[in-house]
A = this chain, B = another copy of it.
Amino acid sequence: MTNNSRPLILVVNDDGYQAKGLSALVHVAQKFGNVVVVAPDGTRSGMSHAVTFNDPLRLTGITTDDNLTIYKTNGTPVDCVKLGQKVVLKDKKIDLILSGINHGSNSSISVIYSGTVAAALEGSIENFPSIAFSLLNYSEEADFSAAAFYAEKIVEKVLENPLPPHTALNVNIPNVQRSDIKGMKITRQTKAFWHEEFIKRKDPNGKNYYWATGYLINEDTGKDSCEWALKNNYVSIQPLHFDLTAYEHINKLKFLEK
């Protein structure tokens, strides 16, 4: 296979261009195709689908040791997809967009806060097959070997079998040894929510500031949910779409038209 006939794979993330999880995903991608990386110049956690249009964007190419070019930007994860597609790849057909591997879970309601997931969703808006990967370990030094093993399995299948149009995958991998993972499950978003708390502190000038913290409250025990799969050591694969319309309520709300 010549280089030109290999799939073109754009890899992005939200933990920044130096993250170990990005490196793990790049190694997976290089087994299948020609890889271009566009990543933030530092961590961009919790950025969701944020885009930058009121500030200028920077984009710098860095050639790494093994003949791979990584671009870093001051933008968000979604900006990385847009810059990758339009500026770096100049509208070339992208065969696959991979986002991650995120350091930490992006299951249940975190789907909506996650920049890693939003980047894959952005890819699906443009109708590129797009997959977000997250490992349930927030450490910078997390062991990505099991996550990379499953990422490779999934990438191989998706390159062989096209995803439905405008559909992204949100993949979460339990933080256990590869031998303890029982398999993969197609899941739905768990009906679980963050309980937020704000810790109040005073700065050296006596002014208040707040740190947001919280924990997940999950009363959804459905065996088809992402949290059930992860708790039971399955890799969770959730198909995502970007139409937020609550179709089930359209008829109930007709009274508002009057």
Contact = CB atoms under 8 A, between A and B. Distances in A.
Most chain B beta carbons < 10 A, residue from A125, A169, A201, A242: A242
A109 B86 contact: no
A163 B43 CA distance: 38
Given A52-B46, A213-B53, A197 B86 contact: yes
B250 A112 contact: no
A1 interface: no
A87 B212 CA distance: 11
A112 B123 CA distance: 13
B250 A186 contact: yes
Given A193-B126, A212-B57, A113 B49 contact: yes
Most chain B beta carbons < 10 A, residue from A53, A184, A193, A213: A53
B184 A256 contact: yes
Contacts of A54: 43, 45-46
A163 B154 CA distance: 40
Interface in A163-214: 163-164, 167, 169-170, 183-186, 188-189, 191, 193, 196-198, 200-201, 207-213
A246 B163 CA distance: 12
Nearest to A226: B245
Contact of A245 (B188, B198, B212, B248): B188
B51 A113 contact: yes
* Contact count band on A: 35 or more
A6 interface: no
A255 interface: yes
Interface of A: 43, 45-54, 56-59, 78-79, 82-83, 85-87, 109, 111-113, 118, 121, 125-126, 154, 157-158, 161, 163-164, 167, 169-170, 183-186, 188-189, 191, 193, 196-198, 200-201, 207-213, 224, 237-250, 252-257
28 contacts: A48-B48, A48-B50, A48-B51, A50-B50, A50-B113, A53-B213, A57-B209, A57-B210, A57-B211, A59-B208, A79-B212, A82-B198, A87-B210, A109-B125, A154-B256, A164-B252, A164-B253, A169-B253, A186-B254, A186-B257, A188-B247, A188-B250, A224-B250, A239-B245, A239-B253, A240-B246, A241-B244, A244-B244
